[in-house]
Amino acid sequence: MFKKGLFYLLVVGLFVLSFGCTNYNKILKSANNDLKYETGIDLYEKGDFTRALQFFDLLRAINSGTEKGEKLTYYTANCYFQLKDYDIASYYYKRYVQMYPRSKHAEEASFLSAYCNYLSSPRPSLDQTTTYTALSELQMFIDRYPKSAKVAEANRLMDKLRNKLEEKDYHIAMLYYKMADYQAAITSFKNLLDDYPDTDFREEILYYTTKAYFEYAEKSIVKKKKERYEKTVEAYNNLKYMYPESKFIKELEPLNQKARNHL
C-alpha cells in the first residue's frame, strides 16, 4: 500500500513538473513580454535562478535604460552570484553600475563585483590575475564610496588577497633557493621585504638570505667572493638583531664564522 502511494506521488510530481516546464516554455515563446517579465521575477523570488535567467536574457536588451531594465540587470547578476558563477556575476554587477550609476543598488553592486573576483581568486600556487583584479576593484570601491559601511570589509578582503600574493612570492623565492639559483633567490627575498615590510615570513627570509649569500659566495669567482661573504655576515647580523631568540641563530653561527674567516 505504501509503495503504491509513493508511486502515485512520484507520477503526480513528474506530471506537475512536466506541465510546469511546458507552460514556462510556452511563455518563453510567446509575444507577451509583460507575462515573461512577471514569470521571470516570480521564478527569481522562488529561488529558481537558472530558469529565471532564461526570461531575463530575453528581456534585458528590450528594457535597457528603463526601470524594468535596471531590475533585470541587477537580478541577472544576483542569479549568477547565487549559482556561484562569479565571473559572469561580476560582469553583470559591473555592467549594472555602468548603466545605472545613481540607482539604489549601485554601491552594493560595485562591492559585489569586486567581491566576486575575490571569491574567484585561486590558491597561491596558481596564476593571480584575478587576485590583482579583485584588489584593483576593491580599491576603486573604497575610493568611490569612502563612507560606505562596506569599506572595513573591503580592506579586510584586500589584506587577505595581499597575504595570498605574499605567500606566492615567498614560495617563488624558496623555489629559486631549492634550485640553487642563489642570485634569483636573494633578489626575490629582497623584493619580498621591500613589498611586504610587515611580512610574517621575515625571520625565515633573513635565515634563507644568509644561507643563500654564503652558498653564492662559495660558488663565486675569486674577485666576487669578498663582497658576498660580507653580505652573508650582514644578513646574519640582521637576523640576530631582529630576532635575538631565533631558532636559526645556532645553526647559522658556524656558517657566519666561516664567512668571517674568509674575510
Cell of 137: 576593484
pTM of the model: 0.82
Name the domain count of the chain.
2
Distance (Å, rounded) from C-alpha 262 to C-alpha 230? 9
Which pairs from 20-25 meet CB under 8 Å and 24+ separation?
24/51, 24/54
At 141-182, the pLDDT tens digits run 999 999 999 999 999 999 999 999 999 999 999 999 999 999
Question: Does the residue 193 lie in any domain?
Answer: yes
Question: Does the residue 3 lie in any domain?
Answer: no
- What per-residue confidence (pLDDT) applies to 12? 32
Does 49 share its domain with 157?
yes
Question: Does the residue 25 lie in any domain?
Answer: no
DSSP string, 243-256: -TT-TTHHHHHHHH
Question: Does the residue 172 lie in any domain?
Answer: no
Question: Does the residue 43 lie in any domain?
Answer: yes
Question: Does the residue 6 lie in any domain?
Answer: no
Distance (Å, rounded) from C-alpha 173 to C-alpha 185? 5
CATH number of the domain enclosing 156: 1.25.40.10
- What per-residue confidence (pLDDT) applies to 97? 97
- What per-residue confidence (pLDDT) applies to 21? 59
Distance (Å, rounded) from C-alpha 120 to C-alpha 164? 13
Contact assessment for residue 109 and residue 96, using Cβ atoms and an 8 Å cutoff: yes
- What per-residue confidence (pLDDT) applies to 221? 87
Q: Which residue stretches of the chain have pLDDT < 50? A: 1-19
Does 40 share its domain with 154?
yes
Does 90 share its domain with 124?
yes
| Final residue belonging to a domain, choices 110, 142, 165 | 165
Does 235 share its domain with 129?
no
Does 35 share its domain with 151?
yes
Does 128 share its domain with 203?
no
Ramachandran region, residue 180 (left: φ > 0; alpha: ψ -120 to 50; beta: rest): left
Distance (Å, rounded) from C-alpha 86 to C-alpha 45? 20
| Sign for the pseudo-dihedral over CA of 198, 203, 205, 206 | positive
Please state the φ and ψ torsions of residue 129, each to the nearest 5 degrees.
-55, -45
| Final residue belonging to a domain, choices 100, 132, 165 | 165
Question: Does the residue 16 lie in any domain?
Answer: no
Does 101 share its domain with 186?
no
Does 186 share its domain with 96?
no
Question: Does the residue 22 lie in any domain?
Answer: no
Does 201 share its domain with 159?
no
- Please return the burial class of 85, using the count of CB atoms within 10 Å of its CB with bins 0-12, 13-18 and 19+: middle
Q: Which structural domain range is residue 186 located in?
A: 179-263
Contact assessment for residue 241 and residue 210, using Cβ atoms and an 8 Å cutoff: no
Does 226 share its domain with 184?
yes
